[in-house]
Amino acid sequence: MAKKMHDTPMLDKLESGPWPSFVTGLKREAAKKDIMVDLLGQLETSYKTKKGYWKGGTVGVFGYGGGVIPRFTELKDEHENPVFPDAAEFHTLRIQPPAGMHYDTATLRKFADIWDKYGSGLIGLHGQSGDIMMQGCTTANVQPAWEEINAMGFDMGGAGPALRTSMSCVGAARCEMSCYDEAKALRTIINANIDDMHRPALPYKFKFKFSGCPNDCVNSIQRSDMATIGTWRDNIQVNEQQARDYMKGHGMDKLVNDVISKCPTRAITLRNKADAVTGDSISTVAVDDQHVMQIENHDCVRCMHCLNVMPGALLPGKDKGVTILVGGKSVLKIGATMGTVIIPFMKLESEEDFEKLNEMSRNIIDFFAENALEHERTGEMIERIGLVNFLEGLDIDVDPNMVNHPRANPYVRMDDWDEEVEKANERKAAA
């Protein structure tokens, strides 16, 4: 049993809405824990005064420079004593989850027990950073809590100007769209660069994220400095039985209005069987005895729409690989940016492929470490120095597929045009 609850009329209001309220969750923990009683007290004060009362600080565990997010209360009385003493320290441990984010129940129980013992009982799975967020404990409890978590085999995540904990989609574990082994890519790159997570020494944060296909379930294009997104370069695969099932269940209207008309590049056509066209780049599937759906794969931009609405009937091609983009981030020095393609396609199957990806990730971190200004993300650095200089620094050939944004300039420089086209074609043939 915890101490008596503070009056929280404003927080109580939040429980009256139609959605489950975080306040209800916090109160449940507060029935057991003084730290949560006082957290609610401070939060109510913030709602009243419309001010935040938390400041950061320096709290860590032995051997690590990051991973703990310290929060100290600034809500003090006239004698400088915390108004809510049991929540005067409310630190968070960022713990790296397993790639793919699956747990067995025994692991979750152990986390819960450790956090009941040392912390507030509040665990976030998973934070925006992708971490297991063990939220709310005192400075004294950070080290012993960490030791028990570490003994389970888990490692500290990233915070501060450092490499951050990574995220991969669930991918190959249970998604038919997956185009590579996301968990392996994540672990390869993070394990190889772990020093930069545990000993913050970069100009600012750096994030890798991994999505198995262009659906980009972890939003890697917006939220990571280097995004690895699965794709394919041959034809969309088809499954006739599933396509017929779709047609039976949904009918012609839905097929036309929800699938074919919504292809952004009009790559799909519906034809009478007798009028079906043939070609190396065409995927054809019968949807009933009379009609076939045909996709011109050269026109497909891998938006994933048709594959998503006809799951199983249409699937990624067989020649799978990844596209690499850099520079995604939220608002900082400049507004939010999405990643720019620097590698349109590379295979990611053999050990050598993974090593190549690993090497590129290291080169990008090194370039960022040497060239970014303090508190500047990769996307801003590229904007400042120019994409061409970034590519040159990384020894990556410029490719016509690297489109940063649509043309805004009517003038075209034609010097060495033919040679450049030749080079691009050679590279394409060699890829």
Say whether residue 217 binds ligand SF4 (CB under 6 A): yes
Pick out residues in 121-180 that bind ligand SF4 (CB under 6 A): 169-171, 175, 177-178
Label the pairing between strands 226-232 and 208-211: parallel
Pure H helices in 305-350: 305-309
Query: Would you say 191 and 184 are in contact if contact means Cβ atoms under 8 Å apart?
Result: no
Position among 30, 39, 75, 263 found at the interface with ligand SF4 (CB under 6 A)? 263
Query: Would you say 157 and 164 are in contact if contact means Cβ atoms under 8 Å apart?
Result: yes
| Binding partner of 71, given ligand HEM, ligand SF4, none, CB within 5-8 angstroms per partner class | ligand HEM
* CB-CB neighbours of 406 under 10 Å: 5
- Helix/strand/coil for 366: helix
Q: Helix crossing, 105-118 with 139-151: angle to 10°? A: 160
Kindly tell me which of 130 and 212 has the beta carbon lying closer to ligand HEM: 130
Say whether residue 310 binds ligand SF4 (CB under 6 A): no
Say whether residue 184 binds ligand SF4 (CB under 6 A): no
Which one of the spans 89-97, 100-108, 261-269, 323-331 is the region binding ligand SF4 (CB under 6 A)?
Answer: 261-269
Say whether residue 295 binds ligand SF4 (CB under 6 A): yes
Binding residues for ligand HEM (CB under 6 A): 52, 54, 69, 71, 90, 92, 127-129, 131, 133, 135
Query: Would you say 328 and 222 are in contact if contact means Cβ atoms under 8 Å apart?
Result: yes
Q: How many residues bind ligand SF4 (CB under 6 A)?
A: 26
| Binding partner of 89, given ligand HEM, ligand SF4, none, CB within 5-8 angstroms per partner class | none
| Binding partner of 267, given ligand HEM, ligand SF4, none, CB within 5-8 angstroms per partner class | ligand SF4
Kindly tell me which of 93 and 360 has the beta carbon lying closer to ligand HEM: 93
Give the span between the Cα atoms of 17 and 261, in whole angstroms: 39
Least distance (Å) between residue 53 CB and ligand HEM: 8
Least distance (Å) between residue 378 CB and ligand SF4: 22
Kindly tell me which of 128 and 241 has the beta carbon lying closer to ligand HEM: 128
Kindly tell me which of 133 and 310 has the beta carbon lying closer to ligand HEM: 133
Kindly tell me which of 24 and 265 has the beta carbon lying closer to ligand SF4: 265
Q: How does DSSP classify residue 268?
A: E
| Binding partner of 169, given ligand HEM, ligand SF4, none, CB within 5-8 angstroms per partner class | ligand SF4
E strand segments, 243-302: 268-272, 282-286, 291-296
Q: Which two tokens stand for residue 397?
A: 């050939």
| Secondary structure element (H or E) that encloses residue 341, with its range | strand 340-346
Cα distances from 71 to residues 39, 54, 88, 139, 431, in angstroms, run 12, 6, 8, 10, 50
| Binding partner of 127, given ligand HEM, ligand SF4, none, CB within 5-8 angstroms per partner class | ligand HEM
Query: Would you say 96 and 156 are in contact if contact means Cβ atoms under 8 Å apart?
Result: yes
Kindly tell me which of 301 and 431 has the beta carbon lying closer to ligand SF4: 301
Pure H helices in 92-226: 105-118, 139-151, 182-192, 195-198, 220-223
Least distance (Å) between residue 342 CB and ligand SF4: 20
- Nearest 10 degrees: Cα torsion 425, 428, 430, 431: 170
Summarize as ranges the residues that interact with ligand SF4 (CB under 6 A): 169-171, 175, 177-178, 211-213, 215-217, 263-265, 267-268, 295, 300-307
